[in-house]
């Protein structure tokens, strides 16, 4: 009788444990390649791509889920992936030579962690970040709260939830650098086969003295000698600049949630015409006291969640108020800019149809 009671007790314990952990395993595969990315009809840039897309895949999970990402490196460059904003075991953090060795060509590495905390986050490559992040290795990481009472979409009766991830690039610099790195790594591979010295590209310091000397003299990796820093001439939202950024379409009285993430190196100041916004979360954390703004500063590495409830119909412009970032290579309108089309109850947005000017 005692034994039977114990069995029933064990089964009950097992069932309740299964109820406590309701998370699922969410699996993703990231295939890294180098290819051409068409940002505008006549502007193509050599880029690092994950699954042939920029931004890379969106990871969308619920708090407590187990995220498993298998990264397969088909490119000649080393990489690691960092989960920005996540609180996870140190060995999954993806910082080269701090938590792991880089993933080299032909290698794969699987990251595994429990998704927490909830909120709007992102992931990006952590190797040679100036080239690798802006070069295309980034994507959204959305963690929905497990507790429905903390769901901002429910709280604000959101009818549309959109993610916008920003990046700034210098196509000429990026194309040149990636071509050079490809060449360098091909040479390295050749010299490894013939047992010759490495080409002097990406490698570890041989001694502390070498490391100290490099810092004292103002370090520049060998492959960057004689090459200026990138000058950001194109500003992308979800992989394209305006006018290729699809507009947000809504209706008076409806509520939109915008999740803005700045994955690039350039700060942005998005100004919204015709409406104010409620800032409800920063870096994934829900604000106790949401506040209203019409211009949203977005620093590199920052994420902000906005709630919009436009009252006036029309095509409303949203653009970076720092002039140079709302252009394509100097030409306005372009860059970090998009339109919000607000329809009235008869589905009419405006009698005026937006056009793109060649001379403005």
Residues 135-164 that bind Cu ion (CB under 5 A): 137
Considering the complex, what minimum distance in angstroms separates the CB of residue 263 from Cu ion? 13
Considering the complex, what minimum distance in angstroms separates the CB of residue 28 from Cu ion? 16
Residues 88-127 that bind Cu ion (CB under 5 A): 125, 127
Report if residue 133 touches Cu ion, rule: CB under 5 A: no
How many residues interact with Cu ion (rule CB under 5 A)?
5
Residue selected from 46, 82, 121, 132 as contacting Cu ion according to rule CB under 5 A:
132
Considering the complex, what minimum distance in angstroms separates the CB of residue 48 from Cu ion? 6
Residue 127 or residue 242: which is nearer to Cu ion going by CB?
Answer: 127
Report if residue 79 touches Cu ion, rule: CB under 5 A: yes
Report if residue 338 touches Cu ion, rule: CB under 5 A: no
Considering the complex, what minimum distance in angstroms separates the CB of residue 33 from Cu ion? 11
H, E, C per residue of the chain: CHHHHHHHHHHHHHHHHHHHCCCCEEEEEEEEEEEEEEEECCEEEEEEEECCECCCCCEEEECCCEEEEEEEECCCCCECEEEECCCCCHHHCCCECCCECCECCCCEEEEEEECCCCEEEEEEECCCHHHHCCCCCEEEEEEECCCHHHCHHHHCCCCEEEEEEEEEECHHHHHHHHHHHHHHHHHHHHHHHHCCCCCCCCCCCCCHHHHHHHHHCCCCCHHHCCCCCCCCCEEEECCECECCCCCEEEECCCCEEEEEEECCCCCEEEEECCCCEEEEEECCEEEEEEEEECEEEECCCCEEEEEECCCCCEEEEEEECCHHHHCECCECCCECEEEEEEECCCCCCCCCCCCCCCCC
Considering the complex, what minimum distance in angstroms separates the CB of residue 315 from Cu ion? 38
Taking CB under 5 A as the rule, which mask of x and - marks residues 191-230 in contact with Cu ion? ----------------------------------------
Considering the complex, what minimum distance in angstroms separates the CB of residue 81 from Cu ion? 8
Q: Which stretch binds Cu ion (CB under 5 A): 87-95, 133-141, 196-204, 349-357?
A: 133-141
- Interface residues toward Cu ion, by CB under 5 A: 79, 125, 127, 132, 137
């Amino acid at each position: 009788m005692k034994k039977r009671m114990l069995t029933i007790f064990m089964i009950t314990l097992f069932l309740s444990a299964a109820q406590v952990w309701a998370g699922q395993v969410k699996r993703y595969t990231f295939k890294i390649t180098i290819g051409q990315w068409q940002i505008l009809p006549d502007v193509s840039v050599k880029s690092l791509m994950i699954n042939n897309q920029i931004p890379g895949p969106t990871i969308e999970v619920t708090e407590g889920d187990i995220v498993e990402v298998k990264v397969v490196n088909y490119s000649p460059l080393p990489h690691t992936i960092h989960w920005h904003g996540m609180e996870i075991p140190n060995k999954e953090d993806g910082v080269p030579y701090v938590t792991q060795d880089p993933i080299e060509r032909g290698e794969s590495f699987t990251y595994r962690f429990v998704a927490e905390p909830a909120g709007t986050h992102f992931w990006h490559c952590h190797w040679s970040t100036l080239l690798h992040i802006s070069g295309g290795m980034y994507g959204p990481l959305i963690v929905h709260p497990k507790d429905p009472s903390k769901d901002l979409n429910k709280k604000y009766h959101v009818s549309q939830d959109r993610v916008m991830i920003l990046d700034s690039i210098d196509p000429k610099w990026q194309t040149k650098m990636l071509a050079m790195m490809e060449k360098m790594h091909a040479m390295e591979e050749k010299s490894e086969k013939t047992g010759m010295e490495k080409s002097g590209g990406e490698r570890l310091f041989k001694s502390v003295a070498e490391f100290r000397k490099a810092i004292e003299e103002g370090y520049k990796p060998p492959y960057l000698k004689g090459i200026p820093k990138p000058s950001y001439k194109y500003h992308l939202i979800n992989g394209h600049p305006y006018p290729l950024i699809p507009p947000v379409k809504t209706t008076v009285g409806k509520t939109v949630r915008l999740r803005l993430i700045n994955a690039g190196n350039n700060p942005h100041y998005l100004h919204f015409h015709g409406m104010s916004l409620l800032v409800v979360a920063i870096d994934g954390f829900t604000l106790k006291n949401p506040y209203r703004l019409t211009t949203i500063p977005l620093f590199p590495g920052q994420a902000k969640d906005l709630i919009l409830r436009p009252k006036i119909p029309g095509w409303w412009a949203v653009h970076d108020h720092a002039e140079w970032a709302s252009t394509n290579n100097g030409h306005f309108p372009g860059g970090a800019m998009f339109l919000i089309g607000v329809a009235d109850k008869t589905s009419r947005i405006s009698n005026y149809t937006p056009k793109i000017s060649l001379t403005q």
